[in-house]
Amino acid sequence: MAKKKGKRPQGEGSVYQRKDGKWECKIPVGKDPSTGKLKRKSFYGASQEEVRKKRDEYLTQKRTGTYIEPSKLTVGPFVGDWLKVFVKPNKKAATYAKYESVYLTHINKDLGNIELQKLTTMKVQEFYNTKAAKLSSSAVSIIHIVLHGAMEYAVEEKLIPKNPTSKTKRPSVKHKEVVVMTEEELQKYLLAAKEYRMFAAFFTALTTGLRRGELCALRWKHIDFKKEILKVRESLNRVQVERGKTELRIDTLKTDNAKRDIPLLPETIKILKDHREKQKKERQDIEGENKVVELKDNSLVFCTEEGKFYEPRNLLRLHKVILKKAGLRTDIKIHTLRHQFATMLLKKNVNLKYIIDLLGHADERMVLRTYGHSDDQDLKNAILELKDVIKA
């Protein structure tokens, strides 16, 4: 007596051969909420075995929760929307502008038309290799931060099974050696800077370690002459407000560590007070002799003669003019004044924890790597420490 064929499990459909010779299987996948009609999913193949394999893989993925619905969504629109919805509300304007720039210039331009589900680790690695040949390691790192973050979200939303950027290799970020001035060069620099109205800004940077944006955002209310401290609370940055348009904006600081109070040298206090008086006179000359001019607490310390924002890039340009006037090397960046401040403190054996707090950093290793330089005299003095220990 012939055995009865077992009943096909519910939901697995039937495999049949079509008139064109191809094989097909249709299985129910629920009902259309708008019509109430049963929806079916089809699998096609050149053989019965191929179709069954595709069906079984689908059913296994559905049971294990690993199934990804096929989609034609491309990388460009997806990353762009992710940036606007998830990144923009949670990042500083300057940081978001940087992310948006690398998205538009690199990610969208080179990967934008690739379907999200077809973006492989190999394609991403080739993309990174191409960029590494033209851009700095830090620039490639920012590109990776944006692309990796967007792909992580795609995995969470079950748009792709895994993040194609996770197993990629990027060039390690190279930290350039910071060139600081010798004592002789520093004196030449300060002497040349005294001839310019922004001298107080450069001297303050040198004796407090402020960043350029922090200097340009400084207000008189942030300087407590009685307690002899300077409060770092804001930063001035040029940010992109729309495509092709930027503007200067004062923003809060990036991290809690960046918010700090810095004691002022007596010389710095004197220079800032002199600067304040000169600023009053400038405003008096503009508004008229008969008008009483008072600088409000909210007024900017380092600004134009009219009291408006001083473009941070103009501070950089003036720094270059001062270098030329002093006959100094052109590779001395304006950020060198901050490095100079940290390096001088390290050479005076100031506790590293204090230096970290003054700079507004959080990473001890980064401070040592960036500012812990040794010149020839430092090395000679180090060796001389052995003279009382080792004797012939």
Averaged pLDDT for residues 67-93: 89
Domain assignment present for 116: yes
Domain assignment present for 248: yes
113 in the same domain as 140: yes
302 in the same domain as 233: yes
28 in the same domain as 83: no
Of 10-19, 251-260, 306-315, 330-339, highest mean pLDDT: 306-315
Write down the pLDDT at residue 77. Answer: 94
Domain assignment present for 202: yes
Instruction: Give the lowest-confidence range in 94-98, 121-125, 272-276.
Output: 94-98
259 in the same domain as 147: no
Q: Contacts from 210-214 at CB under 8 Å and sequence distance 24+?
A: 210/262, 210/338, 211/235, 211/335, 211/338, 212/312, 212/315, 212/316, 212/334, 212/335, 213/237, 213/312, 214/253
Cβ atoms 305, 298 nearer than 8 A: no
What sign for the dihedral angle of Cα 28, 30, 33, 38?
positive
pLDDT category, 5, cuts 50, 70, 90?
A: very low
Domain assignment present for 387: no
Residue 306 belongs to domain with CATH number: 1.10.443.10
Residue 124 belongs to domain with CATH number: 1.10.150.130
DSSP 36-75: -PEEEEEEEESSHHHHHHHHHHHHHHHHHT--------BH
Cβ atoms 173, 366 nearer than 8 A: no
Averaged pLDDT for residues 249-271: 89
Q: At what angle do helices 352-359 and 336-347 cross, to 10 degrees?
A: 160
pLDDT above 70: percentage of residues in the chain? 85
Domain assignment present for 312: yes
Helix or strand run (H / E) with residue 352: helix 352-359
Write down the pLDDT at residue 11. Answer: 59
pLDDT digits (tens, 9 = 90+) for 149-181: 999 999 998 899 899 999 999 877 666 667 789
The encoded tokens of residue 238 equal 């040029």
134 in the same domain as 34: no
Write down the pLDDT at residue 1. Answer: 46
Q: Is 255 exposed, middle or buried (0-12, 13-18, 19+ CB in 10 A)?
A: exposed
Domain, as residue range, for 133:
75-156
330 in the same domain as 191: yes
Q: At what angle do helices 336-347 and 199-208 cross, to 10 degrees?
A: 40
The encoded tokens of residue 369 equal 């790597």
Write down the pLDDT at residue 382. Answer: 54
Write down the pLDDT at residue 270. Answer: 96
Domain assignment present for 28: yes
Domain assignment present for 385: no
- Asked if pLDDT for residue 6 goes beyond 50, the answer is no
Write down the pLDDT at residue 3. Answer: 46
150 in the same domain as 283: no
Write down the pLDDT at residue 180. Answer: 84
Amino acid at 352: L
Write down the pLDDT at residue 381. Answer: 59
Write down the pLDDT at residue 71. Answer: 80
Mean pLDDT of the residues in the chain: 85
Task: Read off the pTM.
Answer: 0.66
Neighbouring CB atoms inside 10 A of 154's CB total 25
Between 83 and 11, the higher pLDDT residue: 83
As a whole number of angstroms, the distance between CA 71 and CA 26 comes to 20
pLDDT above 90: percentage of residues in the chain? 50
Instruction: Give the lowest-confidence range in 143-147, 177-181, 187-191, 202-206.
Output: 177-181
Instruction: Give the lowest-confidence range in 138-152, 193-207, 296-310.
Output: 296-310
Instruction: Give the lowest-confidence range in 128-137, 214-223, 245-254.
Output: 245-254
Q: Strand 23-31: give its sheet, edge to edge.
A: 14-17, 23-31, 38-45
Domain assignment present for 96: yes
User: Which whole-number Å values give the CA distances from 349 to 220, 268, 367, in the listed order?
Assistant: 32, 22, 14
Cβ atoms 182, 151 nearer than 8 A: no
Averaged pLDDT for residues 129-158: 93
Helix or strand run (H / E) with residue 212: helix 212-217
190 in the same domain as 111: no
Into how many domains does the chain fold?
3
